[in-house]
Amino acid sequence: MVTVSEAEKIISAHLMSYGEEVICLEDAVGRVLAEDLVADRDLPPFNRATVDGIAIQTASVKNNNSLYAVCGIQAAGVAPLKVFSENHCIEIMTGAAVDPIFDAVIRYEDCVIEDGSARLLPDLEVKPGMNIHYRGKDKQQGEILAEKNRVLTPALIGLAASTGQARLRVKKLPRIVVISTGDEMVPLTEVPTAYQLRRSNGIVVKSCLAKYKIHPQLMHLNDELEQVRTALTECLQQYDVLIITGGVSMGKFDFIPQVLSELGVQKQFHKVRQRPGKPFWFGSFKDARQQASELRHPVSKLIFALPGNPVSVFMCLNRYFLPWLQASLGLSEPGYEYAVLNSDILFKPALQYFAQVKLKVNNTGVVEATPLTTNGSGDFSNLMYADAFMELPGDRADGRFKKGECFKVWRF
Ligand SMILES: Nc1nc2c(c(=O)[nH]1)N[C@H]1C(S)=C(S)[C@@H](COP(=O)(O)OP(=O)(O)OC[C@H]3O[C@@H](n4cnc5c(N)ncnc54)[C@H](O)[C@@H]3O)O[C@H]1N2
Ligand code: MOO
């Protein structure tokens, strides 16, 4: 049995890279940028009016001459109009290019236009540069707008669109199969007998991966040795990552560890000093072709075999698998989050306990964690009320965690 931090270290020694691909910008949200995004021109690309009004030269205002002949109307999208006297102005629309001869745009609300002349309202404070968004003020041509290894958020996609990138180079995603196990688990479309359950683990894992634009294959295996052997043999060939749920404990029908070992999967650990999720099994596999580097990416296949209890699956996925995925995709460390317990917890076993907590920022700006009362790792009826798992150290002889103490949380 390994500790939580040993398990974490072993998993992070197995970060993988799955290469890169070029995809349409429209499909890019949630993917990870694999190249720097560079400004193809200055942002903004010209001096841009930020209001509808008139463009003037402020020196003329200082001369106490605030009446201007209107010499034209400047729309957005066309070359800027000039004037040849400081007593002249043009009407200009938001987003239009302002000729360098002008150094301010006055809002329509701040002037009166009559008979071809514009008069500024008395006592109007006019400053050079007002209402002009100057060329290159935001970013210069050639400057990096976004570094690679960032998640493509809607805001970043907008920036990419402004640089004309209809296609983007992103990190390739691992091919993942999610395999649930157990004779007692029936599909959602079937009516369970009195002692059967409906399968929920697979769809939970799939839903967690959707955020990363990973659409895993779902598969279910009954507790039949031959079926498990055949299916795992095929999956080890076809997929980069196997996420298995259930069948990893001590039961007479828990075939997963045995079959994985028979198939040549290298066990990295089995059992973690934690609750939930103690029987977690993790291994790596290199097939003969991979060892000979015949494949695109001679990387190990990884097997995350999570204990079948629904809360154990959810915890192990959030605490181990998703951080592995993020790091493998090159995403920078999100940094740990902490919260303060707002009531005592008693947990005696010498295991690191992951308590389900509800998080709330209190009126002094502190994140407080309220533990939820649950009936163990088979009770997933309260998970929807929790925001995070709070990771409590496993070395307290008295098992007491006091209100006011601060611990790491894994938000989901
Ligand atoms: N003698 C021991 N028994 C057990 C130990 C132990 O250390 N010694 N560990 C316990 C712990 S902790 C856990 S967690 C479970 C994990 O066992 P398995 O990984 O073999 O999981 P299963 O027995 O297959 O299932 C456990 C539980 O979860 C339900 N389940 C399974 N799949 C699904 C699914 N797709 N959707 C919803 N629910 C699912 C299943 O019906 C069981 O109730 O072992 C303890 N035993
Ligand atoms: O620790 Mo087991 O993971 O659910 O009870």
User: What does the pLDDT look like over 119-167, one tens digit per residue?
Assistant: 999 889 999 999 999 999 999 999 999 999 999 999 999 999 999 999 9
Residue 63 confidence (pLDDT): 63
**What's the pLDDT score for residue 290?**
62
Reported confidence tier of residue 357, pLDDT bands at 50, 70, 90: very high
Which fold would CATH assign to domain 337-411?
Beta-clip (2.40.340)
pLDDT reported for residue 287: 76
* Residue 171 contacts residue 89 (beta carbons within 8 Å): no
Percent of the chain residues past pLDDT 70, beyond the cut: 97
pLDDT interval class at 170 (50, 70, 90): very high
Q: Considering every ligand atom, which ligand is closest to the CA of 347? A: 2
CA 19 – CA 330 distance, rounded (Å): 11
Looking at this predicted complex, what is its ipTM?
Answer: 0.95
Is-above-0.80 flag for pTM?
yes
Residue 400 pLDDT greater than 70, yes or no: yes
Q: Count CB atoms within 10 A of the CB of residue 78.
A: 9
Position 378 scores a pLDDT of 84
Q: What is the pLDDT of residue 296?
A: 53
Confidence at 17, pLDDT banded by 50, 70, 90: very high
Ligand number, closest to the Cα atom of 310: 1
To the nearest 10°, report the CA torsion of 344, 371, 316, 313.
Answer: 130
Ligand 1 nearest-atom number relative to CA 181: 32
Query: Which carries the bigger pLDDT value, residue 210 or residue 60?
Result: 210
Q: CB–CB of 180/201 below 8 Å?
A: yes
- Ligand 2 proximal residues by C-beta, below 6 Å: 275-278, 307, 309, 312, 377
Output the CATH code of domain 48-133.
2.170.190.11
Ligand 1 lined by 374 (C-beta under 6 Å): no
Indicate the domain borders of the chain.
4-19+173-328, 22-38+147-171, 48-133, 337-411
Ligand 1, atom 31, residue with closest C-alpha: 308
Neighbours of 202 (CB within 10 A): 23
- Residue 355 Cα to ligand 1 middle (Å): 18
**Nearest ligand to the C-alpha atom of residue 349:** 2
Residue 308 CA, closest ligand 1 atom number: 21
Token code pair at residue 334: 């999100």
Q: Is the CB of 44 under 6 A from ligand 1?
A: no
Q: Over the stretch 288-315, which tens digit does the pLDDT of each residue have?
A: 666 655 555 557 999 999 999 999 999 9
Confidence of residue 62 (pLDDT cuts 50, 70, 90): confident
- Assigned fold of 4-19+173-328: Molybdenum Cofactor Biosythetic Enzyme; Chain A (3.40.980)
Which residues are within 8 A (CB) of 389 and not within 5 positions of it... i.e. 6 or more apart? 315, 318, 319, 354, 355, 356, 357, 409, 410, 412
More confident residue, 368 or 297: 368
Q: For position 377, what pLDDT does the model report?
A: 83
Give 247 Cα–ligand 1 centroid separation in angstroms.
Answer: 7
| pLDDT on residue 66 | 84
